[in-house]
Amino acid sequence: MQSAASDLELLEAAAREAGILARNLLNKPLEIQSKGEAGPVTNVDFAVNDLLTEKLRNARPEYGWLSEETPDDLSQRIGKQRVFMLDPIDGTAAMIAKAPQWTISIGISDNDRAYAGVVYNPMTDEMFVGAPGTRATLNGRRMFASDRDKLEGARMIGQKNRFSDKRWQSPWPKMDIIERQSIAYRMALVAAGQGDATVLFGFKNEWDISAGAALIEAAGGRVSDLWGQPIMLNQPDPRAPGVAAAGAALHPLLIERTIDFPDPRGRKDGAP
């Protein structure tokens, strides 16, 4: 089995090549389709998926595979020690709108836990790389999750309306809420200490959170579901029921508030 350093080198090279492809394709008219509730998808999503499939699966044929733009084949990942988990373009709506908030997100799970991850923003040229127990970097420089230990005044990356909802038992303190469309980008910014925390409500796909979880843990932060339990990846239903991610000191304060949040696994429609 390959080392984490070797896997990170592979992921970073693949993400950079995919970023070049995506930028080139954006110079031409986009071909946009709808996936219904899953949102839009474009020719860029499919082209990047094809490139990453070739680069990653040829390099690591023994690894399993889970991608948003590839039909999920359980036989290709369940029971595998390591599994690629990727979203070729995370934040497709942002890409269509020409907002520089979309990313290429590539993670690897090992024995169902986040093992290594790369999140690349091709428009800002931000390359987040990390694996728990090894290193976490942003454009080659070490990055660390925030050491903040208070929610008041925290930089929360998320949706403002989520924290002003009247259903909370007690109001959240005043925070600086920063909105970013890509889930992977939100998590990468927390790993880099550019945000103190992010809270993701409702089911989130493993291909959106795998890389970000690896980055945050590599940077000294913590990632769990909204009830403080570890995120287990490579599940038959590849979704997590919500995510709380922050620096190690702030994370317990998130859980104090989110622990009473309704669990979507208890609803037939899976709604948050």
At 67, which CATH number?
3.30.540.10
Say yes or no: 136 and 163 in one domain: no
Backbone angles phi, psi at 210, to 5 degrees: -60, -50
Radius of gyration of the chain (CA): 17
**pLDDT tens, position by position, 167-211:** 788 889 999 999 998 999 999 999 999 999 999 999 999 999 999
Pair (14, 114) in one structural domain: yes
Residue 160 and residue 39 share a domain: no
Give pLDDT < 50 ranges for the chain: 268-272
Per-residue pLDDT at 267: 58
Q: How far is CA 151 from CA 38, 103, 187, 198, in A?
A: 32, 27, 17, 12
Do 11 and 125 reside in the same domain of the chain? yes
- Pick from 142, 167, 190: which residue ends a domain? 142
Tell me, yes or no, whether 150 lies in a domain: no
Instruction: Answer whether residue 18 is part of any domain.
Output: yes
In a shared domain, residues 94 and 171: no
Specify if 217 maps to a domain.
Answer: yes
Number of domains in the chain: 2
Specify whether 122 is located in the same domain as 14. yes
Whether 67 and 103 share a structural domain: yes
Both tokens of 125, joined, read 């040229």
pLDDT at residue 168 in the model: 85
End-to-end CA distance of the chain: 38
pLDDT at 41: 94
Residues 75 and 106 in one domain: yes
Q: In a 3-state reduction of DSSP, which class is residue 203?
A: coil
Dist CA 63 CA 200 (whole Å): 28
Last residue of a domain, one of 142, 177, 207: 142
Q: Are residues 50 and 124 in the same domain?
A: yes
pLDDT at residue 36, rounded to an integer:
86
Asked if 85 and 176 sit in the same domain, the reply is no
Q: What DSSP state is assigned to residue 91?
A: -
Quick one: pLDDT at residue 165? 78
Task: Estimate the share of the chain in helix, then strand, then coil, as percent rounded to the nearest 5.
Answer: 30, 25, 40
Is 149 a domain residue? no
Which CATH number goes with the domain that contains 208?
3.40.190.80
Q: Would 272 be classed as within a structural domain?
A: no
The domain in which residue 86 lies consists of 4-142
Please count the other Cβ atoms lying within 10 Å of the Cβ belonging to residue 161.
9
Within-domain flag for 132: yes
**Which residue(s) pair with 141 in the sheet?**
138
- Using CA atoms, how far apart are residues 194 and 254, in angstroms rounded to an integer? 17
